[in-house]
Structure 1
């Protein structure tokens, strides 16, 4: 088994900084990805399952992100995933690549180029890169970093690609472990389920708990996986039967 903590701690961020701490759960991985994003001057990151041809929602494929939830809503509302040059490239290639929203807009054949630029610009994500990754079972995904900085250099691309591969492998391992530990709900996951049981919407829970809607959905989705449920209603019911909430 790979000692991810030791491997990660041996890597150095720009400015000579290192990443400290264990990688024992998804929050640890989120923290490290946020550190990397900040160190390289990006607005945020996105961990994305590669959408298949029948998928019409980017938000549904987002495994973890600090990109604004409003970006995902606007992107999906405009159905920008259909005809996206980025998604098409991710489906057929495992080579990392940079993106520029303005250049990509000229390659769209569906007339949605201007809409795509507006969505990326409004979120402060006009430029960045996508790093295709995979886990031990061959499941494919990508980690994206986006922001307003200039496009990355080849050296930066190589360093970020190494970070991405290590962290996605660890994320897959953690998720596999968590899915086998049905009773190991975190405090936040239980809190979200309690509010869901009380009939609160995701937006209401986000306001009550001072979190983003994406983060609330992240905790609820993680609880759903841990309890091996198919939807939120079943997750709440299983948690109640197990005495995890009342």
Structure 2
């Protein structure tokens, strides 16, 4: 339930390249594997082996977007987003989006209302690893900014969003994210929820492998920050790094704390992992 106050599109404000779904239209590209199988007009859930093979065949974030578009349509949803679950101080969903087809009006409404910190869905995502659904009424009732929530719901209703399904995931370094699907109100069977949860896990891990969101242009480290991270990766303590670089231990801690915040990491170890994956250190 979520472009911007200055009128820019979601593509222009997404923090990573190609996070927003490309427009539909004719394409000469080969067909991608589908998220399910169709038997006599009815959707049949793919086996775990089929799902793993289908997702592994996705080569770019655009492939993931097309896959998600089909997945959403096949399951009766209109909109989707895969995003990081940010710490409470992050204020905008657009800053955490990885891939999405959310209408820019919805995303702008969500961000301008400051709902990321108050959303019932994101509050639950921070405390559970189990998929769940919220109806429009439940989301509005449980979101702590009632007036802003009601205004955003009016925007969402114009885009036929009556219900949101949340699927929390994480990768090997502990970074948490979620696949969120939005559409009309309906009862979703538990088996379907669990199937979609498995899809979310495979897709998020595939995005990590593709590197779709590890190439952030807005993260730049200073020479000292890179040096401190490299020595931390080598197993050195702050005191040891201070001796090597001719700095005070306090200054080394300052550099490491600063770079940890830049990388949205929970500690130095995670900062090193993220920096390595993004090619910021070697």
With the length of structure 2 as denominator, give the TM-score of the two structures: 0.56
Which residue of structure 2 aligns with residue 198 of structure 1? none
Kept in 2, the 8 Å contact 1:58–1:76? The answer is yes
Which residue of structure 2 aligns with residue 137 of structure 1? 173
Determine which structure has greater relative contact order: mean sequence separation of CA pairs < 8 Å that are 6+ residues apart, divided by chain length. Answer: 2
Query: Where in structure 1 are there 5+ consecutive unaligned residues?
Result: 1-7, 180-224, 229-246
- Structure 1 Cα separation of the partners of residues 88 and 59 of structure 2: 34
Does residue 55 (structure 1) correspond to residue 83 (structure 2)? The answer is: no
Which residue of structure 2 aligns with residue 38 of structure 1? 73
Which of the pair is proportionally richer in helix?
1
- Structure 1 Cα separation of the partners of residues 187 and 179 of structure 2: 16
- Structure 2 Cα separation of the partners of residues 91 and 226 of structure 1: 25
- Structure 1 Cα separation of the partners of residues 182 and 145 of structure 2: 23
CA shift for structure 1 position 70:
1.3
- Structure 1 Cα separation of the partners of residues 168 and 125 of structure 2: 7
Query: Among 181, 201, 204, which residue is 1:168 paired with?
Result: 204
Does residue 101 (structure 1) correspond to residue 132 (structure 2)? The answer is: no
- Structure 2 Cα separation of the partners of residues 170 and 77 of structure 1: 31
CA shift for structure 1 position 166:
0.6
Does residue 153 (structure 1) correspond to residue 189 (structure 2)? The answer is: yes
CA shift for structure 1 position 109:
3.0
Instruction: Give the match's secondary structure for 1:151.
Output: coil
Instruction: Give the match's secondary structure for 2:167.
Output: strand
Which residue of structure 1 aligns with residue 145 of structure 2? 110
Kept in 1, the 8 Å contact 2:109–2:152? The answer is no
Cα gap change, 1:122/1:31 in structure 2, threshold over 3 Å: closer, same or farther? same
State the Cα deviation string for residues 62-110 of structure 1 (Å, max 9, x = none).
1110121111011111222232111111111111101112112112333
State the Cα deviation string for residues 150-183 of structure 1 (Å, max 9, x = none).
131111101111111111110111017974xxxx
Kept in 1, the 8 Å contact 2:77–2:181? The answer is yes
Q: How many residue pairs align between the two structures?
A: 177
Instruction: Give the match's secondary structure for 2:182.
Output: strand
- Structure 1 Cα separation of the partners of residues 213 and 115 of structure 2: 34
Kept in 1, the 8 Å contact 2:164–2:183? The answer is yes
CA-atom RMSD in angstroms: 2.9
With the length of structure 1 as denominator, give the TM-score of the two structures: 0.64
- Structure 2 Cα separation of the partners of residues 23 and 131 of structure 1: 20
- Structure 2 Cα separation of the partners of residues 88 and 128 of structure 1: 14
Which residue of structure 1 aligns with residue 11 of structure 2? none
Query: Where in structure 2 are there 5+ consecutive unaligned residues?
Result: 1-32, 216-276
- Structure 1 Cα separation of the partners of residues 278 and 176 of structure 2: 21
- Give the 4+ runs in structure 1 shifted more than 4 A: 8-11, 17-21, 176-179, 225-228
Which residue of structure 1 aligns with residue 222 of structure 2? none
CA shift for structure 1 position 120:
2.0
**Larger Cα Rg: Structure 1 or Structure 2?**
2
